[in-house]
Amino acid sequence: MSDILDTRGSWLSDEDLDLARERLPIVYIDALPVRVDALGNVTEIGLLLRGRHDGSLSRAVVSGRVLYGERVREALLRHIEKDLGTMALPRVPVSISPFTVAEYFPDPEVSGFVDLRQHAVSLCFIVPCDGDCTPSQDALDLAWVTPAEALSYTFQAEMTGGQGRLVRLALAHCGYLD
C-alpha cells in the first residue's frame, strides 16, 4: 500500500532537532559493550574515548537517539555498529528490557546524568559483543578493561555526564558491587 509512510530515512534538520530538544524529552539508548565468559560473567567492558564539544576527551558508553519509527532493538544495533564497527557481533538481548532508565538534564543537580543540550530519557542495556570491535565514527579509541578497572578512580575520572555512574549501575546489575 502506498499510503504507508517510510520513516527509516527520516531525520530532523538541525534546526528542527534543536527546536524539539527545547520542548520534548528525546529517547536515547545507552549500551555498555561487554565480553563475557562461558558462564555469562562480565570479564571486560568496552569504553569509548570521545572528543567533547569543549575540546576535552571523555570515556563513554555507546549512545544515541532512537529515530522516529525505529524499534529500540534496531536503534541498539545501529548505534553499536556505528560506534564499534560492523564486525562487533553484538548479542542484542532477547528481552529488550533495559537494566535501568537514565534521565539526562542540562542541570547536573536534577539527576546526576547530564546532557547540556536537552532533556533525554535513555534506555540502558548491557550488550555482549563477540566480534572484532574497532572505534568508528566520532569515537577516537576503544579500551577493553576489567570490571575492577572500570570502577577504579582513574577510569571513573575520565567519564563525564554521569557515564561513570551508569557503568557502576551496569556492573551492580551484573553482580559487581561498587
- The pLDDT value recorded for residue 22 is 72
Domains, the chain, with CATH or none: 27-173 (3.90.79.10)
109, three cell numbers: 543537580
| Structural contact between residues 178 and 156, judged by C-beta atoms closer than 8 angstroms | no
Per-residue pLDDT at 43 exceeds 80? yes
> Which amino acid does the sequence have at 40?
G
- Distance between CA atoms of residues 126 and 140, nearest Å: 21
Q: How much is the average pLDDT of 11-27?
A: 76
Give me the numbers of helices (H) and strands (E) for the chain, helices first please.
6, 8
Q: What percent of the chain has pLDDT over 90?
A: 65
Q: Pairing state of beta strands 26-36 and 120-128?
A: parallel
Q: What per-residue confidence (pLDDT) applies to 10?
A: 57
DSSP H or E run through 81? helix 72-84
Distance CA 82, CA 155 (A): 23
pLDDT tens figures, 105-136: 999 899 899 988 889 999 999 999 999 998 88
pLDDT higher than threshold 90 for residue 41: yes
Residue 8: per-residue pLDDT: 52
The pLDDT of residue 2 is 42
Q: What angle do CA 50, 160, 112 make, to 5 degrees?
A: 145
Higher-confidence residue of 176 and 27: namely 27
Taking residues 153-162, what's their average pLDDT? Answer: 91
Residue 95 has pLDDT above 80, yes or no: yes
pTM of the model: 0.86
